[in-house]
Amino acid sequence: MKNKHFSKYLVMFVILVCTVALSGCKGDKSQENTNKAPTTDDTSSKESGQDADGEVTPIYGGSIVVGITQDLDSLDPHKAVAAGTNEVLFNVYEGLVKPNENGDLVPAVASDYQVSEDGKEYTFSIREGITFHNGDAVTAEDIKYSIERCAGLLEETDPSVKVESALSNVKEVNILDEKTVQLKLEKGDTEILPYLTCAIVPANYDKLDTQPMGTGPFKFVSYAPLESFIIEKNEAYWGEQAYLDQVTFKISANTDSAFMELMAGSIDIFPYLTDDQANQLPDTYNIAEGNMNLVQALFLNNAAEPFTDEKVRQAVCYALDRQAILDMVAGGRGTIIDTNMFPAFTKYYNTDLTGTYDYNVDKAKELLAEAGYGNGFTFTITVPSNYQYHVDTAQILVEQLKAVGITAKIQQVEWNGWLEDVYNGRNYEATIIGLDSNLAPRDSVERFVSTAKNNFINYKNEQFDETFAKAIASTVDEEKVEYYKQLQAYLTQDAASAYIQDPPLLVAVNKKLAGYTFYPVYVQDMAKVYYISE
Amino acid sequence: MKVSWNRIIGAILVGIVLLFVIIGVFYTPYDPNAMNGAAKSQAPSLLHWLGTDNFGRDLLSRVMEGSRTTFFVAIATVAIGGTIGTLVGALTGFYGGRIDQIIMRINDGITSFPSILLTLVIISVFGIGKYKIIWALGIVFIPSFVRVVRSEYMVQKEMDYVKTAKLMGASDVRILFLHILPNIRPILVSTITIGFNNAVLAEAGMSYLGLGVQPPDASLGRMLSEAQAYLFSAPWYAIAPGVMIVITVLGLSLVNEG
């Protein structure tokens, strides 16, 4: 094997070195780009820069390529766990209601709905003339089937279906007539609506895993694992038609390779630019800036030594200089958070918690000493390798933790391994990830109820569980808000995890395109993107 | 032995690299993992001779540290592959027979897989990390040693000095390791050198793929992997470890092949 393989490796690196040498010539150019102020609006802006100029005429037609950096975990919307999958499937599926860009829930498959006063009965009218992508009309049976599937009420449920625990409150789904469906709840719940964004699928259709079929503005064309997910315009869509004829979600192994393709011009929209990449972007792209609406944290496995000790967890919180992290990985953008909710939930977000764990090395050391770890300890941070942002954050944390005597090691794992071992297996010490959330405030905190299936940090606090039950049961708005703030306070005071930030979302959008829209939830809405006239 | 210019140049290159690594053990200008937000992605300067990376870490220090890690992995890999490979090769070559045939067929089987693929399979069983990569690469390197050593032993065992030793009643172990082994030294040394080269590149390749040395620790491959995203904005980041690998491999090849 000797010479053959030797030359193979050598060729590999000669190519690499050549690339480096060539890039030397381009250096100046990208430097210029840095100086140019990128077209960005403040974080509250909903549209990409192009629209701000006004006078843009949308053109129907054309196809684009959107870069994504993780493979889809399932094409079945009720099985998909990953935020990266749901953001793509948003284009294909709709629920009875769906979120709009302001975070409001608007009727989708249902044309309107009534809620009874006690919050126990929800009546939905099916939209007139709405059809699945194969042309079949959406029937009351389909809706009953879909809701029951999501809620785990079907007699035979595929075990891999992710049962939405918030829907466990649904007692029964009744078909009142051909066009009307009624949900009966065990207990009054005014917060269930955001969960009824759960995708409506054809009843007893067994090809959801391979041939997704929904009612959304785009229909499924093809999917090649680790390669691409292609959708095309649904001409029969009930609402505003999509502008583009076809959208290809191109799956890259990581942000680096996606960025290479961006530089080569083969990707039109790429939603996960790093700060450095944004500075290097060729001037054929605009940068749209928003918030990711994720809770990025160093999640600590509360059942793993030494994180079983609250003081150790608090020490870790104090040891993190989060402003330095933002400066390093996000160019100072991003929002520091102190609890498991992102600030976009202005109504519920508990601002009193801000500053609970301001950077304080002495305090951290003190707490460690009290917990009996005066000489520090060693632990492993497991990070999914496809998220460079989290890997970079991890590297900074390792350095910061050194200052208080804690030795952290980084273990990179691929995404599926992360889901299996960390998220589902809970076999880890600490991990860095961004948690997304549904539009309901409960979605951000419900996972920390001690019995929740997705309580992957093994958080246990009886008071928390009680308060959560009260929050759900409450039908008085102010009371509800208070309960949610209290829940966040528990998470912060117990230092359930070391919360870091809501990362900035920098999106590269080809200058020929406009209409890229930010949502307060994690979705990539392609129906609003269009080519602008020359 | 006539000393060629190639050898001299090679020796100088290897000497530079070794000096660099040895100094790195005792002294680096900065802590290789220390971050400095104020000095992010700086071009080479008097303060930072090779520039800094996206965390403001000094690249010279990191290349020193990284070369050491990479060399450690390479040496350990060759030690594992070389020891086991030589042992198996010597036994099979010397004794021949059915066992030899079976082992060589297994050997052929292993060699028929691309070595990167094979390493990936072993890693998927062992897991990733610095020490696991050493074992994975070590195993992958065994067949090449077996093959070379075996064919040498097959030739040597027919030589007169071996027959003489046998007639004098020397034990097999003595013949295997005290009589034959020194006689195949030249070929073994060059196999080891080539193996070392391959191991440097393999470590770089594996760490580049994120499977070897884990961040924030530096290794040459790891650094290249991290530098990839900054090829356009901070080309010096990739140049430093890249040039280091080229110098090492080139130097050793020149020394070896003359």
> pLDDT of A430-448, one tens digit each?
999 998 887 778 888 889 9
Place A25 in a pLDDT band, splitting at 50, 70 and 90: very low
CB A249 within 8 A of CB A218: no
Which position has the higher pLDDT, A474 or A302?
A302
SS (H, E, C) A435-483: ECCCCCHHHHHHHHCCCCCCCCCCCCCHHHHHHHHHHHHCCCHHHHHHH
Q: What is the pLDDT of residue B1?
A: 55
Task: Select from A5, A16, A396 the Cβ nearest to the Cβ of B224.
Answer: A16
Say what the pLDDT of residue A5 is. Answer: 54
Q: Estimate to the nearest angstrom the gap between the alpha carbon of B198 and the chain centroid.
A: 5
Average pLDDT over all residues of chain A:
84
**Whether residue A52 has pLDDT greater than 70:** no
Which tokens hold the place of A14?
A: 């000669």
The yes-or-no verdict on residue A33 having pLDDT over 80 is no
B46: in domain = no
Q: Note whether residue B111 is domain-resident.
A: yes
Question: Using one digit for the tens of pLDDT, what is the confidence trace for A328-361?
Answer: 888 888 889 999 988 878 888 888 998 899 999 9
Report the alpha-carbon distance of residue B98 to residue B79 in Å, rounded.
28
Instruction: Say yes or no to pLDDT of A164 above 60.
Output: yes
**Positive or negative, the Cα torsion across B31, B36, B41, B45?**
negative
Residue A181 — very low, low, confident or very high, per pLDDT cuts 50/70/90?
very high
Q: Higher model confidence: residue A447 or residue B211? A: A447
Flag whether B35 is in a domain: no
Q: A179-213 b/e with 16+ CB inside 10 Å = b?
A: ebbbbebeebbebbbbbbbbbbbbbeeeebeeebb
Percentage of chain A exceeding pLDDT 70: 90
Q: CB atoms < 10 A from the CB of A7, how many?
A: 11
For chain A, say whether B55 makes contact (Cβ under 8 Å): yes
- B257 against A131, higher pLDDT: A131
Q: Do A13 and B194 touch (CB under 8 A)?
A: no
Q: Which domain holds residue B244?
A: 5-26+57-257
Distance CA A191, CA A441 (A): 8
Whether the pLDDT of residue A466 is over 70: the answer is yes
**CB count in 10 Å sphere of residue A76:** 22
Report chain A residues whose CB lies below 8 A from the CB of B231. 19-20, 23
Model confidence over A83-109: pLDDT tens digits? 889 889 999 999 999 988 877 889 999
Domain presence at residue B39: no
pLDDT by residue (tens digit) across A210-251? 999 999 999 999 999 989 999 999 999 999 999 999 999 999
Residues of B in contact with A9 (CB under 8 A): 198, 201-202, 204-205
Number of separate domains in chain B:
1
The 10s digit of each residue's pLDDT in A57-75 is 888 999 999 999 888 989 9
pLDDT of residue A474: 81
Whether residue A280 and residue B233 make contact (CB cut-off 8 A), yes or no, is yes
Check if the interface score ipTM surpasses 0.85: no
The answer to whether B38 faces chain A, any CB pair under 8 Å, is: no
Q: What percent of chain B has pLDDT over 70?
A: 99
> pLDDT tens digits, residue range B1-54?
567 888 899 999 999 999 989 998 898 888 888 888 788 888 888 888 888 888
pLDDT band at A23 (very low <50, low <70, confident <90, very high): very low
Q: Is position B33 within any domain?
A: no
Cβ(A345)–Cβ(A445) below 8 Å? no
At A407 the pLDDT is 93
Q: How many CB pairs under 8 A join A and B?
A: 112
State pLDDT tens for residues B53-77: 888 899 999 999 999 999 999 999 9
Highest mean pLDDT among A242-246, B98-102, B188-192: A242-246
Half-sphere exposure of A235 (CA within 13 A, CB side): 3
Contact at 8 Å (CB) between A65 and A271? no
Q: Residues A461, A484: contact at Cβ < 8 Å?
A: no
Q: Which of B144, B216, B245 minimises the CB distance to A13?
A: B245
Residue B170, domain CATH: 1.10.3720.10
CB atoms within 10 A of CB A515: 21
DSSP state of A37: P
Q: Which of residues 18-57 of A touch B (CB under 8 A)?
A: 19-20, 23-24, 26-27, 30-31, 34
Residue B51 in domain? no
pLDDT, tens digit, 9 for 90 and up, residues B158-172 = 889 988 988 888 888
User: Residue B148 domain-assigned?
Assistant: yes
Q: What is the mean pLDDT of residues B210-231?
A: 83
Give pLDDT, residue A107.
92
Residue B88 has pLDDT above 80, yes or no: yes
Gap between the Cα atoms of A239 and A216, Å rounded: 9
pLDDT (tens digit per residue) in A35-46:
333 333 333 333
Q: Once rounded to an integer, what is the mean pLDDT over residues A389-405? A: 92
Q: Kindly state the helix (H) or strand (E) to which residue A141 belongs, with its residue range.
A: helix A140-151
B136-152: average pLDDT: 91
Residue B32 counted as domain residue? no
CB within 8 Å of chain B, chain A residues 400-419: 409-413
Share of chain A above pLDDT 90, in %: 49
The confidence band for B256, taking pLDDT boundaries of 50, 70 and 90, is confident
Residue A505 clears pLDDT 90, i.e. is over it = no
Q: How far is CA A483 from CA A194, A355, A460, A477, in A?
A: 19, 21, 17, 10
pLDDT at position A55 is 57
Chain B positions in Cβ-Cβ contact with residue A5 (cut-off 8 Å) = 115, 198
Q: What does the alpha-carbon distance between residue A211 and residue A226 come to, in Å, rounded to a whole number?
A: 17
Q: Chain A contact for B256, CB < 8 A?
A: no
The pLDDT of residue A263 is above 90 = no
